[in-house]
Copies of this chain bind each other. A is one copy, B any other.
Amino acid sequence: MNAADGQKIAMRGAGYYSANTAGAKNVIDKVGDLVVKAVAKMPRLADGLPFAIADFGAADGGTSMDMMRRLVGAIREAEPERAISITYTDLPHNDFSTLFRLSQGLLGTSTEVPLAETPGLYIFGSGTSFYRQILPDNSLSFGFSATAMHWISKRPCMIADHVQAVGATNVEREQFRAQALRDWETVLLARARELRSGGRLALANFCVDEAGRYLGHTTGIDMFDTFARLWRDLLRAGRISETEYVNATFQQFYKTPEEFGAPFRDPASSVSQAGLRMETMFTIVTPCPYAEAFRSHHDAEAFAKAYVPTLRSWSETVFANALDSSRSAHDRSAIVDELYGAYEAEVARAPEGHRMDYVHCVTEIVKL
């Protein structure tokens, strides 16, 4: 995951992120079919040029590792000798060491040959926001990004009585929307410069789908409403201040398919003028693997213990950073533990309806 300046966005390090985001991996695996077909449609590169892949907002690279194997396999099937590069990008403070160790088989228990051992494959990291150009002009063959671009480049305002734009007032939400639409144009124009002619992007972004569903809001209990309510409980209990309550504002926005497509429908837009065309767009709901597992094992406590860490992996820094900087590290982590402890207790007590289904909008974009 990734964003730009402003709120310090970070996933927990040392493999915690990819180990606790089974749902994110499921989505990427689904997108794999599209990726393999996309490679077959690409024009042959000139001799001596590497097939350059980038994963934008890759975190520790764990969730996309299997997809990368398939992608590399598809390229090599067409051209056995073609050099390949993969550039994993994320914010500068991302845990790149875990990424390099994972790709070299120095972490985990996989018995597969490490990705980095593939002959003629070269792996790089770039600690650069995807709101900037990361790769040289006309050098990128295939760009990929999953579950990252809902992190917007800055928060236009704090959300006073909720934590995410989905629960904001109309006035607040429109400010987030405006920022998100500007950011989408920025991301696409940066990628348009990086892509070679005939190069492609496959993006799986969180969205609000045609039925109004979004992450943790499909059937059952709304996840962000739950976060907001439990955070409010800490305010009411005097555990956090009013400012700390307000400051827990996710630097995120979920666009609709309509919004993802808008720059492409207007032939005069800067995105269309830069040569980008949208070839494919569809939405998918990926059932929460923890809620699904609960349906077979019926162990509410085990469900809570497995489910809440996946929420925590991408959300805890938002709450931790909302706390006053004068608090000790110990105090901050105690408050954050209380929040997730309360969430876990609630799920263990009344598990029905808790589920973090993923709702993605998948787009395939080509540069003319």
Is there contact, CB below 8 Å, between A96 and B116? no
Task: Answer yes or no: A50 CB below 8 A from chain B CBs.
Answer: yes
Tier of interface size on chain A: 20 to 34
Is there contact, CB below 8 Å, between B116 and A123? no
A50 to B136 Cα, complex, angstroms: 7
Q: Which of B101, B120, B122, B136 contacts A93 (CB under 8 A)?
A: B101
Is there contact, CB below 8 Å, between A128 and B137? no
Task: Answer yes or no: A92 CB below 8 A from chain B CBs.
Answer: yes
Task: Answer yes or no: A313 CB below 8 A from chain B CBs.
Answer: no
Is there contact, CB below 8 Å, between A126 and B124? yes
Q: Which of B116, B124, B139 contacts A50 (CB under 8 A)?
A: B139
A132 to chain B, nearest CB (A): 9
A123 to B134 Cα, complex, angstroms: 8
Copies assembled = 2
Chain A stretch 116-168: residues in CB contact (< 8 A) with chain B: 116, 120, 122-128, 133-139
A128 touching B116 in the complex, CB below 8 Å, given contacts A92-B106, A96-B96: yes
A85 to B140 Cα, complex, angstroms: 14
A100 to B129 Cα, complex, angstroms: 11
Task: Answer yes or no: A87 CB below 8 A from chain B CBs.
Answer: yes
Task: Answer yes or no: A48 CB below 8 A from chain B CBs.
Answer: yes
Contact mask for chain A residues 81-119; partner B; CB cutoff 8 A; 1 contact, 0 none: 001010100001111110111001010000000001000
Is there contact, CB below 8 Å, between A83 and B136? yes
Kindly report which residue of chain B lies nearest to residue A87, judged by CB atoms.
B124
Q: Which of B106, B123, B138 contacts A126 (CB under 8 A)?
A: B123
Kindly report which residue of chain B lies nearest to residue A127, judged by CB atoms.
B100
A94 to B106 Cα, complex, angstroms: 14
A181 to chain B, nearest CB (A): 26
A92 to B133 Cα, complex, angstroms: 25
Kindly report which residue of chain B lies nearest to residue A52, judged by CB atoms.
B136
Is there contact, CB below 8 Å, between A125 and B127? yes
For the complex of A and B, list the 8 residue pairs with the smallest distance between their C-beta atoms, beginning with the closest: A100-B127, A92-B100, A96-B96, A83-B136, A124-B124, A125-B125, A50-B136, A92-B101
Interface residue ranges, A against B (CB under 8 Å): 48, 50, 83, 85, 87, 92-97, 99-101, 104, 106, 116, 120, 122-128, 133-139
Q: Could you jot down 25 A-B contacts, CB within 8 Å? A: A48-B137, A48-B138, A50-B136, A50-B139, A83-B137, A85-B136, A87-B124, A92-B101, A93-B101, A96-B97, A97-B127, A100-B126, A100-B127, A100-B128, A101-B127, A104-B127, A104-B128, A122-B126, A122-B133, A122-B134, A122-B135, A124-B125, A124-B126, A125-B125, A125-B126
